[in-house]
Structure 1
């Protein structure tokens, strides 16, 4: 019987798949996530999702392998994970009082078949005070999250409005992933 392998060590993606009550294992892909050419946001996340899934899929061709990547964009700028306090502060100030987009790309491989898709959700922040930003930075939460915030954690207090799939912002559009697995023949 085919199983599901999540090609990611993201604790958020793990928690999301657990919500669907699916049995799965986790394997870190070790894929090179460096992209030097300028790509549209959707192409960027799709490329990284494919890279994460393809290595694991080659080793486990009969299983359902899921790779995923999430980025935050504001204007033409891609906001990945901040590397330090200054980068996190810059990102949060940029997003303060504005609408930004979150893109999550997903690649699912199974027995030579693949499905690749991208979901986009727009998120509007309240105007953030210096104190709110500083307190959030002190929590440590911004540093392993695209755009420097986690909507499923303390970052939820910044969100004024969301247009699209909440789970896309968290890191895995659950409903679409589930439907694609079913379409590809996965049975629970």
Structure 2
């Protein structure tokens, strides 16, 4: 986004979509459709990602954080750029894409954008790990968050790792990174499997 623009300006879905990076920015041949739509249109949907959190919402502020996070509304645009090494890999359940980067822009008031980042940090802090059931057994999700200096007006680096009980070594588990940076009232989100590249793309 234009860093010289009015920090209180609120953007539309279409305006945000024009500022998403081109798919091939993340790798030659990468492709992805742009989706426009209001942020948080499905109340409570964000909470589904954290249903397995073992914290007691009556005893901890975690439940209040989630309810407040779900209450925010704003314009948004998002895209997942994907590149496959070989066409046949798309149908192979054991082979992932060579490149997969998710990016999104969310427009809020500056006040709400500041609070949004605070809530994200609080949620990751209060729910560092939780378990849930899979068809093949159980899994534990581990979450970490840290502040990033020098990125936008404020930024967080969030990381997620899912360890299934059948895995022989935790060292084999991939970790997914998401950078959430604020510029005025715009939240820029970039997620991918490499820490340095996620920060660089943001």
TM-score range, shorter chain: under 0.3
Q: TM-score, normalised by structure 2?
A: 0.25
Q: Which has the higher strand share?
A: 2
Query: Which structure: larger Rg?
Result: 2
Q: TM-score, normalised by structure 1?
A: 0.27
